[in-house]
Structure 1
Amino acid sequence: MSDTAPPIVFRSLPIITTGRNKVLYPGVVLQLKIKKDDSKELMEQMWDLHLTGKTIIIGCVPLIVGETHSDSHSDETTTKAEAKIIRPIDAEHLFGWGTAARVISFKKNNPYQIKVTKAAYILTLEGVTRFKLEKITKTVPFFEADIGPVPEREINLDDPDMVAIIAAFRTAGNDFANVLSTLQIPQAVLVQLRQKLDSTPIGQLADLFVSVIDLSPEERLQILATVDVKTRIHQALGLLTRQVQVLKISAKLQTNVENNVGSKQRELALRRQVNGWSDQRKFNT
Structure 2
Amino acid sequence: MNPSCLQFSLTEEERKIFNETGYLIVENALSPEQIANLTAVSDRIYEQRVSEGHDSKTALFYANFIADHDSFLNLVDYEKIMPKVWDILGWNIYLYHAHMIMTPPSGKEKNDKTFGWHQDSGRVNVDMESHPRPRLSLKVAYFLSDISEPDRGNFWVVPGSHLNDNLDIPLNEQGQPEGAIPVRVKPGTAVFFDRRLWHAGSPNWSDITRKVLFYGYGYRWIRTKDDMTVQHLWDQSDPIRRQLLGATVNCNGYYSPTDEDVPLRAWLKEHQPVKA
Common fold by TM > 0.5: no
Alignment TM-score, normalising by the size of structure 2 = 0.25
Alignment TM-score, normalising by the size of structure 1 = 0.24
Structure with more helix by fraction: 1
